[in-house]
Amino acid sequence: MSNSDTKVWLITGSSSGFGRSLVEAVLKKGDRVVATARKPEQLDDLVQQYPETIHPVRLDVTNPQEIQASIKSALNQYACIDVLVNNAGYATLGAIEEFSDEDIRRQFETNFFGVLNMTRAVLPTMRKQRSGHILNISSFAGVVAFGGLGIYSATKFAIEGISEALVQEVKPLGINVTLIEPGTFQTNGAASVITPKQPIAEYAATIDSMQAAIVSQPGDPAKAAVAMIQVVESDNPPLRLALGEDSANGIAQKLDAMKAELEAWKSVSLSTAFEGETVGARN
């Protein structure tokens, strides 16, 4: 952690959506922000308002050189990084069959490898500090997959996996990891959703239904930002934080369904041991 009472946040995808709301909330709180975006000029109004506590940096998270440069710029400006928020990303809406290899790989490059590479780049600093907090912006769809969001969900499921492992590796070093799992929020995300170039008519009903769900956005991103700050300030932060009633209830329903299915098929699960072996035995 920094030597002052304020924290230094590095937030990717800061020009819009959750990133923009979080930057505004952190600056209002009095902390310092390295606000990264592909078009940092979109943050000019905040630079004018908070010239001493915001440091805009150009960053495309799919560019390894720019990732390293953003970390170096942050440390040159503020000498530490207390919080990394991996927020940059976008959604795709379409059936799995409809997307090209290029579409799918581009989605993973931004949503997954961008997060992975930013995290790996900041960890040496946090290890040296013996402190830090990494917030990975996942999604309700990172826990519960939906038809029409399969590729997007896959990237978020992957983030869930690395975060669950990462916290076990870095917790002993004083570093926290939290997955943020928002439901539908009133950001500009729906307007930037990527759809297939060659849609298939047989999937239209499924995709139209999911499109309607995405358009319905009851969540307030400003309140989501307050919740994320609360997590960072907690002495016992969670690994996962669902945001929104749809996310909290939907994840609970999936967990209940998984538990019921596991119990229903448990006898089959346990029938696969060699004869005479004790279930759960270790050599």
**Catalytic (active-site) positions:** 138, 152, 156
Q: Evaluate whether 128 touches 81 at the Cβ level (below 8 Å).
A: no
User: In residues, how long is the chain?
Assistant: 283
CA distance 244 to 71: 32
Distance (Å, whole) CA 34 – CA 26: 11
Q: Which of 266, 210, 218, 228 is nearest to 91 (CA)?
A: 210
Per DSSP (E only), the strands in the chain are 8-11, 32-37, 54-58, 83-86, 132-137, 175-182, 240-243
69, 102 contact by CB (below 8 A): no
Which tokens hold the place of 5? Answer: 């009472």
Calpha distance 57→216 (Å, rounded):
33
CB 228 within 8 A of CB 26: no
Kindly report the number of other CB atoms within 10 A of residue 280's CB atom.
7
Q: Which residues contact 258 (CB under 8 A, 6 or more apart)?
A: none
